[in-house]
Chain A
């Protein structure tokens, strides 16, 4: 990102949009205190519930934040601002990079806020484990950055709200953000192929004997990123060749 002034104003615009701040930050935070608070000593999937739920809510909020960049892309397409940007020296790559960086910035707010909330409810991790947890969340969010760009080109603004809400909820639900839904069997194998499963699983990965997630996580994230990128490129090209 060569142009810091451009990025600064994109960040400013992101921060001024309060709606996503509410959905990506306040909702997960409130839910975390409401549900993890009374269940401080419960053990879920081998770890303390506050740690599980902190990661789960951070994943949910961070996914919302990443996908919200799609809403901004769709809005700018609709008003014709995207075309106006195409007749400036700003490259397509920089345009999307700024959107993804803003998505990550919002995601960081959510992750940090939930980290603090987790500490308040007694989550205790070493500095290295905190770092590893954040790193795994950052990597796990890559497919969602691409899905945001994809949805931003696929949807019109009026259908985007429900679409983003639906997609985020589905990923959050199947991934286990609201509690693990499949403990074993065929359906567990299915949800393990979804990137949000591994986001929610990040804290267990950090606390596992090896200290790292299994190979499967890296494969799932790589495949989703590649597949979604190919789709996004196709949809972007179709969108750019339109006459209007």
Chain B
């Protein structure tokens, strides 16, 4: 299922946050959207999820204009995991994941169908939450909670998964866990994944395409190998960096020259 974004412009009651975005997403791609704060990363993601209306331009999901999708129809194609979620106190892991089946169910209080059970099963297996099923979510660690939310999205069985800063509140191990999970999802289920990230190295290692936004415009759109160079990073993030290679994997090391820092203060 592909996504086409044409001349998309978005504003929040005034200043333009996204300006003339053109983007084409192929099925089963993993795309990381990076950029400084305020560059429009979240806005772009939320626009695709139809949480914001553009002031101009169009987004096509599966060859159909987003404007023509009902909420229900869209929920069968796109799953969106926001940065901030609300957790009811006493809900268990299994219950939360089962909510992911809502778009596939009718409104009446019915028993779970076979397809639902299968989907939930698969989600739990992929996220390795078997042992934590009956636990209340409030008792889990941050990483485990995030895995549960991702399991909910998996149970939703959509072709496209949007994740807004999925690793921001997690420790190093959990971050790696989540990134590996995302990669595995893409590998096993062929889900198209678009995520916004702050960590450039995660973007480099776990996606096959990086889009760098600056001031609401696409500054660069390329594979990690082509995007990761000092000049582009300096232009987008306004920092110096050094790129090293380890096990033939590039790593970006942000550098700030200490002497320069003092010199700047004196000025």
A joins B in a complex: no
A interface residue numbers (CB < 8 A to B): none
B interface residue numbers (CB < 8 A to A): none
